[in-house]
């Protein structure tokens, strides 16, 4: 009985391998028939001139890959209230999104970094309604040690173009 079980297992494994191989062959054939995929490349915004011989910057403010757009954190580096800082940061994000061919309505994910978690309710009063009918997914934290440049809030996001 044990021998029959092993034979049965081997037969089933052989059948599965044949089906899998056929599936791989079909997938390869389907890929060969499909139109060539558009080449995806990493782009920065604003784009750097090809003739620029300066060393690359420390980071990019916006980078796209395919139809995804990643925006670096934007802060407000002036004296003001959390409401003023939040409005400034959202306005700057909106400009950066537009400059890269996207918009607030196309934002999928947002990270909000607060200098003080007690500012969360006031930040939300300005934040609400800026993203269209379906707001993005959001994570909010209070940054230990504060936000560089003495900003009360910093926001980064991922969007599509």
For the stretch 71-128, pLDDT in tens is 999 999 999 999 999 999 999 999 999 999 999 999 999 999 999 999 999 999 999 9
Q: Note the pLDDT tens digit of each residue in 24-33.
A: 444 444 444 4
Pairwise CA distance, residues 42 & 142, whole Å: 31
Dihedral-angle region of residue 72 (phi above 0 means left; psi in -120 to 50 means alpha; beta otherwise): beta
Residue 63 has phi, psi (to 5 degrees) of -135, 135
Tens of pLDDT along 17-73? 444 445 444 444 444 444 445 677 777 776 666 666 777 777 788 999 999 999 999
How high is the pLDDT of residue 60? 81
Does pTM surpass 0.75?
Answer: no
Residue-wise DSSP of 77-138: -SS--HHHHHHHHHHHHHHHHHHTT--GGGEEEEEEEES-GGGHHHHHHHHTTSS-SSPPEE
Question: What pLDDT sits at residue 158?
Answer: 98
């Amino acid at each position: 009985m044990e021998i029959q079980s092993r034979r049965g297992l081997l037969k089933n494994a052989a059948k599965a391998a044949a089906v899998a191989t056929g599936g791989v062959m079909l997938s390869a054939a389907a890929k060969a028939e499909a139109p060539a995929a558009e080449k995806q490349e990493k782009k920065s915004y604003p784009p750097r001139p090809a003739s620029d011989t300066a060393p690359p910057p420390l980071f990019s403010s916006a980078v796209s890959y395919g139809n995804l757009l990643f925006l670096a954190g934007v802060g407000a580096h002036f004296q003001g209230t959390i409401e003023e800082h939040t409005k400034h940061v959202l306005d700057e994000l909106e400009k950066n999104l537009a400059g890269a061919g996207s918009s607030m309505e196309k934002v999928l994910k947002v990270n909000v970094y607060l200098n003080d978690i007690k500012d969360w309710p006031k930040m939300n009063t300005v934040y609400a309604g800026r993203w269209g009918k379906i707001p993005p997914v959001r994570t909010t934290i209070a940054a230990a040690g504060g936000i560089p440049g003495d900003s009360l809030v910093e926001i980064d996001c991922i969007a599509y173009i």
